[in-house]
Structure 1
């Protein structure tokens, strides 16, 4: 097991489990690929001992202490199941659970799987994470949490160091400097560390019973200092939290309602049909309530895409909520589309979401067509939020859906964090999907590759029949594809191309990835000739073998403006009046005004996909670009930014493009 698995988490805080230098190093190498959230903090009222979403406490009127959060700062309340996991980890490792019934916040931070900062009483208590090597939870204290744990009369996992004048933070300590070590300590354990007046935490490099024979470092001190830390004597309830935030909640709700009214009541939109995209999740629940409050005189319907692989609890909740609140529900079902296609395509992956095309996009278009029977456009109120993921960080207040024509989306809670969504739900007394209390941070499809391994374990516990069907398929697929059972057990099927951190994990755990081709054979074939479209213009359909959506998204800005839907596994490129749709399943569809443009665009897209798939990283194109829009992506390809002026000079300098006709990659129909 990696002794410092939780030590690599990016953070901007001094008391994080990572140092500032460790954070910024990786980002500097690859460049600023992600958005940075300015709203990366909350406040804490120490008088009332409650978290605040605004600086002023609405109960005592005092100013809250600012708590800076690791990005993306989508902090939330700890669920009952997560609280039980945390309690188990604290008791088993340190012999106590000092938190009791206090309000606990979890802030999602980067990690191999489910990983959260734990915040208690405004203190950074520790990190709770699911370890993909051991396939179990681990808790690592932060320095404030370590000092609270040391308040236990007989704390577990305690290392006492001899007093020393040397600087200890981040240092490895030899065995001869260890005065004592709790007998329950094993190699790789997170430990509490004391040295004179200093206290903090670290990681053990040996078993306690091997200390006398240890010839190398015995402990690595993560952080240690002389400051004090203790829990607040006041224990607050959720009712106290709501009361302390009531004015902020009213303002949030009012702003969201005004956003909906401001767009939906415009002259061009006031007579259009309105529906809320209701997935059964917390965000869509809040938006449905806000929309009904904003448009009391409009017929607001709920729209539910039933993919056929939803949790039973989600389907039941959607129907029950709409029935209890007299809301008309439009449900579009994908039926067995997933199971009908999974044998052909194999398991979906984070970078291969073929399932979204069949299970979401087709039903969504059917629903929109139904709504557009008597109107040119329909308004969809959607619960997407910026803080959910870096891919959603730039969503606007409203935008036309490039993937579903005729739909105008409105995002009234795009700036909300999870804590604000939950406070709104608690304040309004809304019933919510019971899965949230049972260990699920998201409640989408139960076998979605975007889900975490920790959540797949909960699926096994709650729905063994659903887990068994999917796991049986994965095992059969792995055997046919040459993968080991461990490949499936550790959730590595969730990637078509394993990211570097997963490759490293496999190396550390001794998991073979030999069944996965490191370089997929690449080919592009035209599957249908140029044909007229019913809506006008011409189209070409093709298939891309060995497609990398990451590499495609990195380079196709040279063709036109790009939009990517992570949910649909779809990359859309607009070039003048023409469009290119590239699905993670490998399907390629080109639409243009005339035959010549469709043919030209298909060839141009094929050429650029080939260019980035076979890229050698020579860097010649960087020098050829007059706009400075090209950089190497660090993973065997180029990255073309939105500043590209599409002059074509980089393509002209690329020997792969120059000799593409000799590589037998693009179907003969293009030549």
Structure 2
């Protein structure tokens, strides 16, 4: 069975389980990136009932926001429910509240802005094994746990745990990853062969489409801030407010200004430095 057929079969199975155990359609998460566009096309071809959901992070590039709106408008015209979750706090407000910059080891932004927006639902994501070593441990279907060791991976040579789902003994959210075994070139081959409209940022040299300034993006952040200087200024203002909040809390820091924080943050490739971020806050 080829990749497209396998992915569609996974979507159909997850859709049936969603309706049976949750009484609601399967949720297709949509970020505005290439994997999300492939997912939407596969969902439409599957004929399964579904809803599309986007988590608005407040730090997406304008091109991404416009692309999401356009795709959702097309879906809604076909009678498919689409929802854009807008957080109560923006990234800038979140930085001030947390009193620390978002880092690889302190990804509070993902938890607040992107995760947990569809509680108690069966959700399909565009996670793929070849994106990172961490994601290579993900399964085709999962039951999330607070800790990695507590997660249950399904349909991955684990029949006993799969039965747990089929008996509906698990409460809360469930996750399906229909394109988990697709490689990078598979995604682009499908997009080009099927003439799927994608985010214009890829034509501007971007390898990934996500939050502007995400520490996980590595050196590509320099290009992001060159292309979107307004976001750089917004981060620096947020860091300034963060320092005020730190001082008002009776703490001290080695940083003197928001720009100091930004310069340190942009060198955020040192994992040890991220883990010891407390060193920058003298209690």
Q: TM-score range by the shorter chain?
A: 0.7 to 0.9
Quick one: which of 177, 180, 188 aligns to 1:422? 188
- The aligned residue for residue 65 of structure 2 is 315
1:353 maps to which residue?
A: 107
Seen in structure 2, the aligned counterparts of structure 1 residues 270 and 255 have a Cα distance that, compared at 3 Å, is: farther
Aligned partners of 1:347 and 1:493 also within 8 Å: no
Match of 1:193 in 2: none
Instruction: Output the TM-score relative to the length of structure 2.
Output: 0.73
**Larger relative CO (CA 8 A, sep 6+): 1 or 2?**
2
Aligned twin of 1:284: 36
Aligned partner of 2:92 in structure 1 is: 339
Question: How big is each residue's C-alpha offset from its partner over 1:265-290, in whole Å with a ceiling of 9 and x where there is no partner?
Answer: 35945954212011111112111211
Distance in 1 (CA, whole Å) between partners of 2:175 and 2:141 is: 5
**What is the aligned partner in structure 2 of residue 469 from structure 1?**
234
Cα displacement (A) at 1:389: 1.1
Per the alignment, residue 262 of structure 1 pairs with 13
**Aligned-partner SS, 1:390:** coil
Q: Structure 1 residues 272, 490: CA separation in 2 closer, same or farther (over 3 Å shift)?
A: closer
CA distance in 1, matches of 2:274, 2:254: 19
Secondary structure, counterpart of 1:331 in structure 2: strand
Aligned counterparts of 1:469 and 1:339: Cα–Cα separation in 2: 7
Number of aligned residue pairs: give it: 245
Question: What 5-or-longer segments of structure 1 have no aligned partner?
Answer: 1-249, 369-376, 501-512, 522-544, 546-671
**Aligned match of 1:378:** 121
Whether the aligned pair in 2 keeps the contact of 1:351 and 1:497 (CA below 8 Å) is: no
Provide closer, same or farther for how the CA distance between residues 432 and 395 of structure 1 changes in structure 2, counting only shifts above 3 A. Answer: same
What are the Cα deviations for residues 405-440 of structure 1, in whole angstroms up to 9, with x where unaligned? 622211111111111111111111111111122232
Aligned to 1:492: 267
Greater radius of gyration (CA): 1
SS at match of 2:137: coil
**Paired residue secondary structure (1:257):** helix
Alignment deviations for residues 579-606 of structure 1 (CA, whole Å, 9 cap, x no partner): xxxxxxxxxxxxxxxxxxxxxxxxxxxx
| Alignment partners' CA distance in 2, 1:356 and 1:438 | 25
**Equivalent in the alignment of 2:135:** 392
Question: How far, CA to CA, are the matches of 2:205 and 2:70 in structure 1?
Answer: 22
Contact 1:348 1:354 in 2 (8 A): yes
- Residue 445 of structure 1 aligns with which residue? 211
- After superposition, residues 90-101 of structure 1 pair within 5 angstroms as none
What residue number does 1:330 align with? 83
Partners of 2:136 and 2:16 lie apart in 1 by 26
CA distance in 2, matches of 1:289, 1:461: 33
Instruction: Calculate the aligned-residue CA RMSD, in Å.
Output: 3.5
Q: 1:465 to 1:255 in 2, by over 3 A?
A: same
Cα distance change of structure 1 residues 496 and 252 upon mapping to structure 2, 3 Å threshold = closer
Gaps (5+ residues) in structure 2?
147-170, 244-251
8 Å Cα contact 1:280-1:314 kept in structure 2? yes
Asked if structure 2 preserves the Cα contact closer than 8 Å seen for 1:349 and 1:496, the reply is no
**Which structure shows the higher helix fraction?**
2
After superposition, the C-alpha distances for 1:247-282 in whole angstroms (9 at most, x for unaligned) are xxx821111112222343359459542120111111
